[in-house]
Chains A and B, each alone.
Chain A
Amino acid sequence: MSVSLFVGSAEEEEFRADVIRFISEYRGLNGFHFQGSKWPEVKALYRAIGQCGWMSIGWSDAAGGLGRSAVREFILWDEMAYARVARPPLGAGIVAKTLIAHGTEAQKQKWLPPIRAGEKFFSLGYSEPGAGSDLAGLSTRADLHGDHYVVTGEKCWTSYAQDSDYLWTLVRTGAVEDRGRGLSLMILDLHAPGVSVRPLPTIDGEQLNQVVLDAVEVPVEHRIGPENAAWRLVKDALDVERHVQFPPARLRRDLEELVAWLRKHEHELDPVVQRTVAALGVGVFEVEALALLVLESVVKGRPGDVEAAQNKLAHAELSQKIARAPFELGLSEALIYGPIEFLYRQSTWETIGGGTSEIMRSVVARQGLGLGGRS
């Protein structure tokens, strides 16, 4: 990666060098993709990352990991983001860390090894048609029948469900009025009878999915943590994963591609273009600084809700500013299919997916600034 605010210890920087070497030597990746339609290639890459022991680099020794600090995880996924090859998979992060903290021995033995090896993959099954920003209002029901739950409902905007093995899903086991206190977490097999995955084509040329669950049987031992206790688990899981969710190097790479594109179309000497790019460059440093505050809170085990919200907000907005620059500058070449145009469409998602900017602003206002919440 080019100039960055973050400099780790000698060992950490050595690790970064290893990661960069791994990426440059790895064959079978060509350019711009995170996942989506390139799934077979990305899956192979995950397996290779697993072989390096890096999928589980931050897990404890006891859980079969390398027991390294959050800084290594940050470096790993930041470099992967810069290379635009992969995002941190849900399984190795939220799923594994929740299992390590709250899972039974049997659950750990069943899922941790294939996650570590980069062989089994998870999709996030939180959102529903009627529960987006208002997650606590979700209504997919799970009713206990002897040794299994029967799950019926509908999840939506589910990324990668078409390629994943499992759905890491929130379901209602209590009353609707209990809101967050009536939810349970479970792992649902996406190939089980009663699961249907319907693609929702999106304007970025990829797809989200609607996952319809029609009386799907989920063994009771696939519930993670106690019944109706999922809310806390979901929040804890976010706390230990937030330093890898929005890698700032992705923005640095976005900006570099923008500059290359401007050069290619011979706009680089325009003073307005130069001023715009300079301002975006400052923005990249700003977001990096915010990302490091998040990393610090994770390393020190401090609550970092506000830092995470600031970071997500700034990261999402800057990703859009970079992608929109050619449009603001009036460069009509940007309309044609290509990397800049893709960034434009993709980044529109950033202020919505993973918690909308509105929710992030509310967190900053209420918890960061101490302003009251609505009654």
Chain B
Amino acid sequence: MDFTLTETQQSIVDSAAKLLTKHAGPKRARQVLATSGYDPELASALREAGFLSLMKETGALEAAMVTEAISARAGLVHFGAAAMVAPALGMEIDEPVALSRQRGPVRYGASAKTLLILDGADVRVRRVDSGEARPMRSNFGFPFAELPADGGERLSGAGAKMRAWWRVVLAVEIAGALRGCLTFTTDYVKERRQFGRAIGSFQAIQHRLADCVVLTEASRWLAYEAAFQGAPDDGAEVAISYAAAAARRVFHEVHQMNGAIGFTREHDLHVWSMRLQALALEMGGA
């Protein structure tokens, strides 16, 4: 048990941070959301930097750290699907990858070349041909589409593994978005003044933001722990259950604290907050 980064981990975190400063961030997220919602430039920068093979070459925990960092910078790529779920199933497949439960909207569905379909105890791997995806309008921070869920190559018995890794990826992404919301809101309540003082000096705000710290921190550590342990069913269930509950709670707290300006698209909060709900719901909220 050790919470301190090793030298290798530190250098991965540092180089991811450097890449994300250049290729991601709230401004970029707003631009991308206004168009396709998927950021191919960020995706290729991550690929060229070798981050997609982290899981195989270094470990799942390190891949999780990068996934968290991308989400915390509001990056719009499905890194966790390509860099964690697919390798966990022993596959090297064409990016971008999207994940499907057979029903419900598919995140990044319209830009995916490969679809991993969770089909009970099995997984099916299906190519997505152009024109198959039907984009669906949503305000929840990601692009969604409806995709056919038939056919594909069947991986018998891989369902449990895919479910568990998918849960871990979602938990890690939520943890990153929570961090984005918390950092942004903390800065805001320090600056915003009403009644002659920063609103962050009111206990009514402080206590709720302290609860958000608990939710954010615990979400991240539980998700990292589950990744480190190889996504055991139990650990993955705990990680996503906690993170999803945290997402729902923190969303409302940070919006309340940001007040009216928090609803405007020119204020950055929404690039992190709206995606929280989508992530919490992706596997049925469990």
B-contacting residues of A (Cβ < 8 Å)? 127, 130-134, 137, 156-157, 200-205, 208, 320, 324, 327-337, 341, 344-345, 348-349, 351-353, 356-358, 361
Are B136 and A336 within 8 A (Cβ)? yes
Closest to B136 in A: A336
- Let me know if A352 and B105 touch, CB within 8 A: no
A358 to B280, CA, bound (A): 27
The CA-CA distance from A333 to B266 in the complex, in Å, is 27
Q: Is the CB of A332 within 8 A of B204?
A: no
Question: Can you list 18 A-B contacts (CB < 8 A)?
Answer: A130-B193, A132-B259, A157-B260, A203-B139, A208-B263, A320-B252, A324-B248, A327-B280, A328-B285, A330-B284, A330-B286, A331-B285, A332-B105, A332-B284, A335-B105, A335-B277, A349-B260, A352-B259
- Least Cβ–Cβ distance between A335 and chain B, in angstroms: 5
CB-contacts of B248-286 with A (<8 A): 248, 252, 255-256, 259-266, 270, 274, 277-278, 280-282, 284-286
The smallest beta-carbon distance between A27 and chain B, in angstroms, is 28
Nearest CB on B from A218, distance (A): 25
Residues of A within 8 A of B266 (CB): 200-201
Which residues on the A side are within 8 Å of B255 (C-beta)?
348, 352
Per the bound structure, the CA–CA distance linking A131 and B277 in Å amounts to 30
Q: Is the CB of B194 within 8 A of A335?
A: no
Residues of B within 8 A of A324 (CB): 248
| A332 adjacent to B282 (CB under 8 Å) | yes
Among A208, A333, A344, the residue within 8 A (CB) of B260 is A208
Determine if B264 and A335 form an interchain contact, defined as CB atoms under 8 angstroms apart.
Answer: no
Docked-complex contact B136 and A134, CB < 8 angstroms = no
Residues of B within 8 A of A (CB): 104-105, 136-140, 144, 193-196, 204, 244, 248, 252, 255-256, 259-266, 270, 274, 277-278, 280-282, 284-286
Closest residue of chain B to A358 (Cβ to Cβ) is B204
Knowing A134-B195, A327-B280, A335-B278, say if A352 contacts B260 (CB, 8 Å). Answer: yes
Are A202 and B263 in contact, CB atoms less than 8 angstroms apart?
A: yes
Bound Cα distance from A324 to B276, whole angstroms = 13
Q: A202-B265, A327-B285, A348-B255 are in contact. Are A335 and B260 (CB under 8 A)?
A: no
Indicate if the CB atoms of A337 and B260 lie closer than 8 Å.
Answer: no
- Which residues of chain A have C-beta atoms less than 8 A from B138's C-beta? 335-337, 341
Task: Determine the distance from Cα of A307 to Cα of B155 in the docked complex, in whole angstroms.
Answer: 62
Closest CB in chain A relative to B41 CB, distance in Å: 25
Majority secondary structure, A binding face? mixed
Q: Say yes or no: B248 contacts A328, CB within 8 Å.
A: yes
- Measured in the bound complex, the distance between the Cα atoms of B255 and A202 in whole Å is 13
Are the C-beta atoms of A353 and B260 separated by less than 8 Å?
Answer: yes
- The CA of A348 and the CA of B274, in the complex, are separated in Å by 12
Residue of B139, B256, B260 near A341 (CB, 8 A) is B139
Specify which of B144, B256, B260, B281 is in contact with A327 (CB 8 Å cutoff).
Answer: B281
Q: CA of A327 to CA of B105 in the docked complex: distance in angstroms?
A: 14
Q: Looking at the complex, which one of A203, A330, A335 makes contact with B144 (CB distance below 8 Å)?
A: A335
Evaluate contact between B281 and A156: CB separation under 8 angstroms.
no
A residues in contact with B260, CB < 8 Å: 127, 132, 156-157, 208, 349, 352-353
A336 close to B105 (CB less than 8 A): yes
Given A328-B285, A332-B281: A200 and B264 within 8 A (CB)? yes
Is B263 touching A336 in the complex (CB atoms < 8 A)? Answer: no
- Report if A202-B256 is in contact (Cβ < 8 Å); known contacts: A327-B277, A328-B248, A358-B204: no
Measured CA separation A358–B207 after assembly (Å): 13
Q: A332-B105, A358-B204 are in contact. List 14 more A-B contacts (CB 8 A).
A: A131-B194, A134-B195, A134-B196, A137-B195, A201-B264, A201-B265, A201-B266, A208-B260, A327-B248, A329-B285, A330-B244, A331-B285, A337-B138, A352-B255
Q: Which residues of chain B are within 8 angstroms of A131 by Cβ–Cβ distance?
A: 194
> What is the bound-complex CA distance between A130 and B260, given in angstroms?
12
Report A-chain residues with C-beta under 8 Å of the C-beta of B261: 157
What residue of chain A has the Cβ atom nearest to residue B202's Cβ? A358
Contacts of A203 in B (CB 8 A): 139, 263-265, 270, 274
Q: Which residue of B lies closest to A320 (CB)?
A: B252
Q: How far is the CA of A358 from the CA of B104 in the complex (A)?
A: 37
CB distance from A46 to the nearest CB of B (A): 25
A137 to B199, CA, bound (A): 14
Q: How far is the CB of A211 from chain B (nearest CB, A)?
A: 14
How many whole Å from B61's CB to the nearest CB in chain A? 27
Q: Which residue of B lies closest to A202 (CB)?
A: B263
Residue of A nearest to B245 (CB): A328
A356 in contact with B259 given A203-B139, A332-B104 (CB within 8 Å): yes
Give Cα distance in the complex from A208 to B163, angstroms.
Answer: 42
Nearest 3 A/B pairs, CB to CB:
A330-B285, A134-B194, A337-B137
